[in-house]
Amino acid sequence: MTPAKRLLLVGGSATHLSKARASGADIVWIRMPDEVGPADAERGIEVVRADYADEETLRRVALEAHAARPFDAVVSLTEPGLDPAARVNDLLGLGGTGYEVAHRFTDKFLMRRRLVETAAPGIRIVASALVEDEESLRRFGAAHGYPFIVKPTCGTASFGVLKVDGVDETEAAWQEIGRLRASDHPLVHAYDLGEFIMEEYIDGPLCSAESFSFAGHHVVVTVTEAITEDRNHVHVGHAVPARVSAAVEADVVRVTAAFLDAMGYRDGASHTEFKLTPQGPVIIESQARVGGALLGDLMETVYGVDLQELAFSWPLGGAEALRERPTPHGGCASWLIVAQPGKVREIRGLDAIRARQDTVGVDLWVGPGDVVRSFDGQWDGLGHVASRGDDTTDAIDRCRRSLAELHILTD
């Protein structure tokens, strides 16, 4: 009997582990020492506790495990694990995405610089620069106008995104950068908030392209409509397929392929965010992974394509490449769960939501006794509710009605 292939899974959740198991591979799951969640070894699964963000620790663990029995692929679907997985690809010569390419996605300034260097046709160049001090904020505003956006170069989940509306707000923006760097928010420890980037403000509706690349052939599975909280720029709602014209969707698909080519990305999932403008879609940022907010569940429901499973089966040689975009059947939406700050006292309505026939998924991250932070970023949300409908509008309506039944009481 042919032995099972061997996969190194870097970080991630129990859901990622279950998707990896569907590939049939034996799995070594490297997790942070203090990471919570299931960690017991099962048949075909070995759990290694190590700080995979530390290069030397990662190198030692990967080399020791590979020497015992070689890996066929390394995959991560969590933002902090993308660069480490790419380093292992380079170290072991596994053929997947290497660090140089992966880091263009995890560092937003490198992404902007790459687009300038490649001058890919059809991709609008957005003015950008690194924040040095308060005066650099003033210079950028004078050169490129107000408002403009400030955000961490290596952040995620809309954390630390600031909109500077005028020269009189630069001092407050600089002070907020200092506050974020010194904050005790969990994302400060998970990501490097040392550098911040300034970007020209792009006005227009937000959407994203959920794609998978097969040896350089990029297939956009869906264009996702995003609903954003004006106060803090957090994506509170997502819906597929996006309610845009065929011409706009075709432009997003075309620019996505040109962007991924420019980035040198050839294999795996990607989540690329755009603002839709009268001059065409403008790239805001991109991640070399499946998007969050239950987007994987939404796509599987509407398109019958599981990008998370594909992310594991494709590098292991266990999947056929998609040649055409799949056809949608109905619509699906997810919405962020929020609550008043405080300690959770009681949760009501959860069982009723899960029992609804139109519910696709619920991922609530808190329970009684947990502390709810103020809603300043996407990671301050408490999970998501996702619902299916006859079309996108129906799905959004059902999702919001379902969410209204959930009550998280805090003290």
Position 81 scores a pLDDT of 95
Residue 120 has a pLDDT of: 85
pLDDT in tens, 302-324: 999 999 999 999 999 999 999 99
pLDDT of 32: 92
CA distance 193 to 174: 13
Dmax (CA) for the chain in angstroms is 71
Predicted confidence at residue 232, as pLDDT, reads 60
Question: Two tokens at 141?
Answer: 């505003």
The pLDDT value given to residue 117? 95
Adjacency order of strands within the sheet including 26-31: 45-49, 26-31, 6-10, 73-75
CA dist 263 and 102 (Å) reads: 9
- Residue 100, classed as helix, strand or coil, is helix
Q: Which residues of the chain have pLDDT under 50?
A: none
How many helices (H) does the chain have, and how many strands (E)? 13, 19
pLDDT the model gives residue 36? 67
> In this predicted structure, what is the pLDDT of residue 404?
93
E strand map for 109-216: 128-130, 148-152, 162-164, 196-200, 206-214
Q: How many CB atoms within 10 Å of residue 241? A: 21
Tell me what pLDDT residue 35 has.
77
Closest to 408 (Cα-Cα) out of 386, 389, 381? 381
pLDDT of residue 332: 98
How far apart CA 335 and CA 237 sit, in angstroms, is 4
Structure confidence at residue 34 (pLDDT):
82
- pLDDT of res. 187: 55
> Residue 374 has what pLDDT?
83
d(CA 32, CA 272): 27
